[in-house]
Amino acid sequence: MSQPPHSRSSAPPAPARPDASMSLLTHVMDHGLDEGYAEAAARREAEGTAGLPRTLKARLALGAGLVLAAMVVTLGAAEARLAAPVLAKERHELIERVERADERADGLERDIERLRVTVADRQRAALKQPGSGQGELVGLLSGATEVRGPGVKLVVDDAKGASSGGGDGPRESAGFSDTGRVRDRDMQKIVNGLWQSGAEAVSINGQRLTALSAIRAAGDAILVDNRPLVPPYEVLAVGDKKRLGTAFQDSADGQYLHVLQESYGIRYTLSAADEVRLPAASSLTVRTATAAEQQKGAS
């Protein structure tokens, strides 16, 4: 039998290179970076002087931009320098106008205060005139005149360690917390009790009370005619020093104050005085007035 011809595939394979597994490293070693540099240099050489105008053009544009910016800054500085004196002058004139307005306002306030004192003095003087009938009594009851005479001194103070805030108890149901603090309602009862007991004039911490006075609260503070008071509260009342003190202690409002002391620790002292001095009310509003001459003519 004839032997089949040997095929090319049956030839023994060529031996592999020892560095076949390091083809990337071999490629880098065989082809250095100088080829890339050479190509770049050749490309620049081929362009010739084409890059020079481009660079010069960029430099000219940058120079023009810098010159334009310098011109803008210079013009702005020049305008600001020219406008500075005008602005300074306007500012000075405005300051002078404000100062003149303040001086006028101060002068008007002084005039108002002087006129207020003059009107109050004339009112008190008119009430003291003998021909004014019951002028002295009206001045006393209205609080327009100062009062001096025998009476009582009642000092009311918060309980020791009293704190602000809420609480619960009999006073809380009426809208006042049991914190050991004197409330505006307590002062209202005290003052009303003194009036009912025969007081002719009453003041609290130097604030004269009139028929138009109001005792109110602002938080935990007590206000008398919108003026805040600070404890202890000194209540002065002009009247019969013996009967006034006794009548107040026996009244319902005096008993109320005693309950506050026993139940909530509120402190108070009541003492008779040979003379107490109550100032005139700080402000009185005259609602109607009639001249004495017209009144005589009408009668």
Residue 242, pLDDT score: 86
Provide the pLDDT for residue 121. 77
Task: Quote the pLDDT of residue 297.
Answer: 45
Beta bridge partners of 157: 267
CA distances from 204 to 115, 145, 190, 222 (A): 27, 16, 11, 11
d(CA 112, CA 119): 10
Neighbour count for residue 193 (Cβ, 10 Å): 23
Q: What is the pTM of this model?
A: 0.51
Q: Please tell me whether residue 203 adopts helix, strand or coil conformation.
A: strand
Q: What is the pLDDT of residue 86?
A: 72
pLDDT at 30: 64
- The ranges of the chain with pLDDT < 70 are 1-38, 41, 44-54, 123-124, 126-142, 144, 163-178, 283-299
Separation of alpha carbons 190 and 33, rounded Å: 109
Number of H helices, E strands in the chain: 8, 8
pLDDT at res. 152? 93
Q: Which residues of 49-183 form beta strands (DSSP E)?
A: 147-157
Per CATH, the homologous superfamily of domain 149-278 is: Protein of unknown function DUF881 (3.30.70.1880)
Digit-coded pLDDT (tens) for 230-268: 899 999 999 998 899 999 999 999 999 999 999 899 999
Parallel, antiparallel, or unpaired: how do β-strands 147-157 and 227-229 relate? Answer: unpaired
* Owner of token pair 């306002």: 105
